[in-house]
Structure 1
């Protein structure tokens, strides 16, 4: 890693518990560098018998807000034309195959396949976390939209503070929730509820998420880290063999059709991300985010609603937004 690059993951081991903090201030957006570090960590954990549990959380009061919009825009622009489903599925399969080999991944980062490798790396990393003989706990201490929610859904145990929101909000930006998001969500809450959330692209309060079974517990903010640390520390002393077999029984028993679902999702994600609609929505959203300093939780929510309400879903020009939105967009040159 270059000396000028801020580490995206801060690691601290105490006994058999490894605490990992997302560290991409000020909002902990998930970017390419974080995907590389997560992939390296997931691979290293397979070989480390000294760790029995991993606790993921964010620094201060920020979890993983969502994917870095700049990286998404680069991915959206990486293909000169929109891809067909067949072409996207082939591209996704090739990238996921290459991502299994660290050397190939590093080499392809310097080629036009870079953006496809980013997506493939995410699938591989989260799949490795599911297969580990260690318990993966996450303490959701801030907004978990898009990739933040995708990551949380891939953890074994999810605990959220009572003031945070969570959701797969990608459809507000004309994208498909990738990284296993659609598949894990559906398996957790059922087809009907998953369709409702995915089509609307709406987020849930902590209480709503718990009621749907998306998270296991809701804890007051001041108690979140002590609670999850105690939980993860306790589970870190369980038999690694038993943990592995429990996770295999739960994940793989339900995952026999998952491989096909993930392949379909990956292809759909590429198709959606390379569409003109996604690029327009991402451009608008990036400008809205850039217009706020500092960027608050409310700014993120209002910006997402603004893009969703602006009417960027059609293949033509955006529809005229309501008066309040029109003035807001005019103020930042949109």
Structure 2
């Protein structure tokens, strides 16, 4: 498989999907989101592949967030459509993939990057990983499932604090919170994930697919929360705070929010 923004490596029953935009710290744009969907769709239908590892190229970032320049001037409706489409073709798609997807989180996983990691079935972090949802510092909220998946993983109080402060936590804190399952030295990240993948691949792929479905079904009663997030995300695009936050980010200055 050939992509502009991804590398896909296949070794026996294991596929490793690498987001390859190092100059942008592997930030997610619309093209990369579509390529991830296409790659994962193909791997899901490949009978030889049993486990998928998702990671970012290099040591600096898993995914440092969304490509803000791409949507800084969107209208409310465009913002809502952005979140709805992205959740449908990537974030919800990953969560419900029939094959296990392990997030190998190296370096920064911020905004859409953390949301992508949280959509994976579980996460392993390198010891230099830093994670957070900084969207409110731009005058918007997490729009790819962050307001829903983060509380499920770490609890409501911690999720509220992390979202409202726009702060970051390190790998050790992420493990303490239950956001990641393991923390390993950066140079051992992929080999550790590969060992886990081998253990998983020895088990029944049919049973695993049913296990994924069963576990996810337990959380589906909060589906309305995703709809509310999409609507609120779109509404943020009509605010002066969003205009100021994104403009300040692109101009590399501190935002001065008018509160409107």
Q: Same fold (TM over 0.5)?
A: yes
The structure with the greater share of residues assigned to strand is 2
TM-score (norm 2): 0.92
Contact 2:240 / 2:259 at 8 angstroms: preserved in 1?
no
Deviation at 1:118, TM superposition (A): 3.6
Match of 2:115 among 141, 146, 150: 150
Confirm or deny: 8 A CA contact 1:35 1:118 kept in the other structure: no
Q: 1:68 aligns to what?
A: 67
Residue by residue, what CA displacement relative to the aligned partner does 1:276-307 show, whole Å, maximum 9, x if unpaired? 2112111111122xxxxxxxxxxxxxxxxx63
Report the TM-score, using the length of structure 1 for normalisation.
0.72
Q: What is the match of residue 120 of structure 1?
A: 84
Q: 1:274 to 1:10 in 2, by over 3 A?
A: farther
- Structure number with greater Rg is 1
Q: CA deviation at 1:274?
A: 3.4
Match of 2:199 in 1: 234
For residues 153 and 101 of structure 2, the distance between their equivalents in structure 1, rounded to whole angstroms, comes to 17
Unmatched 5+ residue regions in structure 2? none
Match of 2:7 among 10, 15, 23: 10
- State the alpha-carbon separation in 1 of the partners of residues 83 and 212 from structure 2: 24
Of 214, 220, 228, which residue of structure 2 is paired with 1:264? 228
Who is 1:78 aligned against? 74
| Matches of 2:10 and 2:230, distance apart in 1 | 34
Q: Give the deviation of 1:196 after TM superposition.
A: 1.3
CA contact 1:19–1:54 (8 Å) conserved in 2:
yes
Q: Aligned with 2:202: secondary structure?
A: coil
What is the aligned residue count?
Answer: 256
Alignment partner, residue 212 of structure 2? 247
Distance across 2 between alignment mates of 1:162 and 1:268: 34
Tell me the alpha carbon deviations over residues 124-153 of structure 1, each in whole angstroms, 9 at most, x when there is no partner: 222222222211101111101101100011
| Structure-2 separation of matches of 1:55 and 1:245 | 19
Q: Which runs of 5+ in 1 are unaligned?
A: 84-90, 92-112, 289-305, 316-334
RMSD of aligned C-alpha atoms? 1.9
Matched residue SS, 2:63: coil
CA–CA distance in structure 1, aligned partners of residues 50 and 258 of structure 2: 45
State the 1:116 CA deviation. Answer: 5.0
Q: What is the CA distance between 1:59 and its match in structure 2? A: 1.1
- Deviation track 1:205-227 (CA, whole Å, cap 9, x = no partner) reads 11111111111111111111211
